[in-house]
Amino acid sequence: MILVTGGAGFIGRAVVRALVGRGDRVRVVDSLRSDVHGTNPAPPEPGAQFQLGDLRDPAVVVRALDGVDAVLHLAAKVGLGVSLDDAPDYIASNDLATAELLAGMARAGIPRLVLSSSMVVYGEGAYLGASGPERPTPRTIGDLEAGRFEPIGSDGRVLRPDLIVEDATLDPRNVYASSKLAQEQLASAWARSSAGVSAVLRYHNVYGPGMPHNTPYAGVASLFRSALARGEAPRVFEDGRQRRDFVHVDDVAAANVAALDWTADQAPGAVRPFNIGSGTVHTIGDVATALCADDTLRPVVTGEFRLGDVRHITASSERARAELEWRPLVPFEDGMRDLRTAPLRRAAS
């Protein structure tokens, strides 16, 4: 039996479909919290057991883990978490819940974990200066207001963006990112103390049918798509040249399955992070243009900005390709074409 926490969410549903499709016995536990799923959640994915519950409750964890061989942990509160007022909910929802789950797995002797993490643990992406790799300092309000969006190196010149690898320095820059890094550290502690094995998947910009369309973390793809559905032009912040790696939700689901199989072949105590991205760089402006392809509306580049946003972050997914034997299969053009007409998950009320 495979347990998928958060299996009623956007990515969780795709993971459940992939597991059920290959014949696995699957159980889902999800709290169906109203700020994510609204007051009328979609029915569970067919073919999987469903349990309603909050992982912060030890009794829920015990019931969910009964008869389970491995866990794919996707349940989390997502979003930017820019205000410290959000911190208690993020830490309780993400880190306390993860701690309860891992403690339950240790007691039950469940040795395999696939943890859903995020590119946000890196902060800014990787850059090259005149002398090689260089980490930029956070961009200032003054530079952003003046339209100077590119990070500047120690020599005063614009840094060149590069692909980030899993061994890069981690630099979470908001409450949500901090909670995701804490989840990774908890998983490492669990693996060491209980001889478990954990694959940590750092998702880049995930998109596809069924995306939530009213939260910042849903990403620009869903925000642009929702604007078009309202008859409004997508509003592109900064100059639209921010670089990202957009990866289709079906490819992310396949990565989870590959990571689950990887955990079965590793020595006890192994923990390994993997970037999960398409390997192809696109800009925010590329996404807006692709989604507008069949529409009379065109993107509007506003020059607006959000303090704390990173300029460029794109993934090297070579480790996942080599070690998980995983390949993203959905081309950007095909995925964006499908997203133009695919239904999005209704806004949470």
Cβ-proximal residues to 54 (8 Å cutoff; 6+ apart), any chain = 31, 60, 97
- Phi and psi at 134, nearest 5°, equal -150, 135
Based on its alpha-carbon atoms, the radius of gyration of the chain, rounded to whole angstroms, reads 20
Residues 92 and 100: their CA atoms lie apart, in Å, by 10
Which position among 90, 122, 176, 203 bears the catalytic label? 176
> Which of 112, 8, 107 shows the shortest CA–CA distance to 62?
107
The DSSP code sequence of 172-223 is: --SHHHHHHHHHHHHHHHHHHHHT-EEEEEEE-EEE-TT-BSSSGGG-HHHH
- The first and second tokens of residue 308, run together, are 């704390």
Expressed in angstroms, the distance from the first to the final Cα of the chain is 34
Cα–Cα separations (whole angstroms), residue 135 to 111, 122, 169, 196, 243: 36, 11, 9, 33, 16
Partners of 236 in the β-ladder: 301
Distance from CA of residue 326 to its chain's centroid?
A: 17
User: Does 176 qualify as catalytic in the annotation?
Assistant: yes
Residues 95 and 265: their CA atoms lie apart, in Å, by 27
Q: Are 72 and 15 in contact (CB under 8 A)?
A: yes
Please tell me whether residue 314 adopts helix, strand or coil conformation.
strand
Please tell me whether residue 158 adopts helix, strand or coil conformation.
strand
Question: What residues are annotated to the active site?
Answer: 176
